[in-house]
Amino acid sequence: MTIWPWAAYILFALNVTFAVVIIFLERRDPSATWAWLMVLFFMPFLGFFLYLVFGQNLSRSRLFDWDDKKKVGIEEQIDHQKQAIKGSVFPFANPHTQENAKLVYMLLSHNDAVLSEDNSVDIYIDGNAKFEALIEDIRHAKDHIHLQYYIFRFDELGKKLIHILTEKAREGIEVCVLFDDLGSRKLRRHHFKELIEAGGVVEVFFPSPIPYVNLRLNYRNHRKIVVIDGQIGYIGGFNVGNEYLGKDPSFGYWRDTHLRVKGSAVHSLQTRFILDWNQASKQYDFIYAERLFPVPTTKGNVALQVVTSGPDSELEQIKSGYFKLITTAKKSIYIQTPYFIPDASILDALRIAALSGVDVKIMIPNKPDHMFVYWATYSYAGELMKAGAKIYIYNNGFIHAKTIVVDEQLSSVGTANIDVRSFRLNFEVNAFIYDYESGQALAKNFMDDMLVSYELTPELYHQRPLIIKFKESISRLLSPIL
């Protein structure tokens, strides 16, 4: 009988220890700090376990390094561009970029996001069209194929892609595949047996040393990058799986946004892939080679920056980019995101924009794939409606796009949702685009999607049942750690 008081004292001491760690050592956002304190003290034993799995802080870790990065010439470009922009002598190729020089400078200074203005960009909103283009580009690869996805399923689409990659490896093409251990948790190395035998190389990001137990469960590589011959790059929201072709009845049609890029921006995608690859690699690290960074054969006129963020940094670069985009809006802000759990800064920026007369439209799904996140999304959407923002519920399947379009001339497309997980916990990548035609195309996509959506009016929102209000309240309370 005497063991239980001692167990209670030990449990209490552990909770106090973790509370001290969270408050004084981790230096978290206050809302996340309070959320973790609630978990620790209201669920003592379970909270202890949850903190071990979900509460680690990677911001002081140096995860990504590449000794040959200097040879790419990125540092020289960054210094030159920073000095030229600061001195107001940068030769911007289009007025949209010049008008947003401060955003360019911020992303350049804090994320090494080199500005390139010679790109061509194709926008894909349908999975069948995107993968048809990707497979065609892979078939024509002459030197290398670097492919990275958060989710890679061993289903009809996944098998088809592996088969084509195997064919290219047999031709002597360098094929490297990187996938996330959690996102692709049902994928195994033996699924790539033929590809590996053909000379392809496969790596896993943050793999678990123990089956089904991953102490880095909370920090995942959510990026989707493909680089072919250093000339063509893909970036966006589509993963590899049948559901992204609209073949999963539980989701229906899958609406996403992905970019196919040609131009100097592909060098930035290549660098990001190599950094991620070398972190995960146990057998084959990249060294610099000119073939990986060839002179672009296609000259376009689209200006963009490739911006990355992750838990290894405290700067939250993509979130800062979102914030700057929102605060520069003069006429309109169109947002599509499956998860809308903004932190205080993004929420205030959107609220102020709406109150200032900016046309703020936000489109979210009509069905959940993560229950708590879904109801938290509804809670924040309801709050913004009070400021005059318009909320649209996509009703033609599932919307997974992560896009922001400002004044139909500035935009961001990538992997980052508007939630704490994307801002602070996941490794993400977005393209920030300074181009009128691209902005117009993305805005038109939004308007077309409105035709298959319904507006969540204040009247509809207030009619929701009491149980829904309860779910929203609980989910909102947990939102800092979702």
Give catalytic residues, as residue numbers.
222, 224, 229, 400, 402, 407
Q: Are 414 and 235 in contact (CB under 8 A)?
A: yes
- Please list the residues that pair with 116 across neighbouring strands: 304
- CB under 8 Å to 77, separation ≥6 — which residues? 114
For the residues of 75-143, what is the DSSP string, one character each?
A: HHHHHHHHHHHHTT----SSHHHHHTHHHHHHHHHHH---EEEEEEEEEEEEHHHHHHHHHHHHHT-SS
Question: How many angstroms separate the Cα of 436 from the Cα of each of 7, 302, 405, 433, 442?
Answer: 64, 9, 10, 9, 10
CA atoms within 13 A on the CB side of 395: 10
* Residue in this structure with the two tokens 């909370």, named with its chain if needed: 218
Query: Among 165, 417, 144, 150, which residue's Cα sits nearest to residue 270?
Result: 144
Phi, psi angles (nearest 5°) of residue 293: -130, 65
Look up residue 196 and give its two tokens. 């590996």
Question: How many angstroms separate the Cα of 370 from the Cα of each of 339, 412, 444?
Answer: 9, 24, 28
Name the pairing type of β-strands 201-205 and 232-236. Answer: unpaired
Q: Are 317 and 111 in contact (CB under 8 A)?
A: yes
